[in-house]
Chain A
Amino acid sequence: GENVEQHPSTLSVQEGDSAVIKCTYSDSASNYFPWYKQELGKRPQLIIDIRSNVGEKKDQRIAVTLNKTAKHFSLHITETQPEDSAVYFCAAFTGTASKLTFGTGTRLQVTL
């Protein structure tokens, strides 16, 4: 089945700096890659997603890139703010298995 690896597990940046989180996946049949932000005790919130026919997508301070050949995708957050502090999960959806596989998560801390 699909295996999603995520790095780093923790990331501390200063306010205003950029943050990058990277994920790799194993199943070439995966075709949809969402990123979720989860605050403590709350639901995962979709912040951006990308489909396999697109290489890059941007939404204000957040961008995602996808390299299908290398089977990796990354989340980029620019001009980080304290409210960006949370745990971020990448995920890969495999149509053949019809399920979403999550990465292990990255705890992002934005310091003043």
Chain B
Amino acid sequence: GAVVSQHPSWVICKSGTSVKIECRSLDFQATTMFWYRQFPKQSLMLMATSNEGSKATYEQGVEKDKFLINHASLTLSTLTVTSAHPEDSSFYICSAVQDNSNQPQHFGDGTRLSIL
């Protein structure tokens, strides 16, 4: 149980393109989903917390107009990287939790984003 599906797993696109990443909880309803970014040989850095039906809460330094997050249902959250540039190239990972007061978080497989 507690499977989180993330798509796509790998994206290569030109600078200026917008990229959408989907995160789905397959066998449970996720009241909260999290989006992380991980640069090579570094730790996971939380970008934003997404609660179903409300606006995402962004961490300090993360541009909300660049990283658009939508959590329209209890099983789906999307992250759109708008006008992506090479410095946005990274490994993006989502996680989901049924009840944020009762961890653990379940992670998706991640999306490797490469901007040329």
Which residues of chain A have a CB within 8 Å of any CB of chain B? 32, 34, 41-46, 49, 89, 93, 95, 98-105
Contact = CB atoms under 8 A, between A and B. Distances in A.
Interface string B95-107: 0000011011111
A42 B93 CA distance: 10
Given A98-B100, A105-B43, A43 B110 contact: yes
B46 interface: yes
Interface string B79-116: 00000000000010100000011011111111010000
Interface size class of B (residues with CB under 8 A): 20 to 34
A103 B91 CA distance: 17
Nearest to A105: B43
Contacts of B46: 99-101
B107 A103 contact: no
A90 to B, nearest CB: 10
Contacts of B104: 32, 34, 46, 49
B43 A103 contact: yes
Given A49-B104, A104-B43, A99 B49 contact: yes
Contacts of A95: 101
A93 B32 CA distance: 14
A44 B103 contact: no
Contact of A89 (B32, B44, B91, B100): B44
A41 B114 CA distance: 14
29 contacts: A32-B103, A32-B104, A34-B103, A34-B104, A34-B105, A41-B112, A42-B109, A43-B93, A43-B108, A44-B93, A44-B107, A45-B107, A46-B106, A49-B103, A49-B104, A89-B43, A95-B101, A98-B49, A98-B100, A99-B46, A100-B34, A100-B46, A100-B103, A101-B46, A102-B43, A102-B44, A102-B45, A105-B42, A105-B43
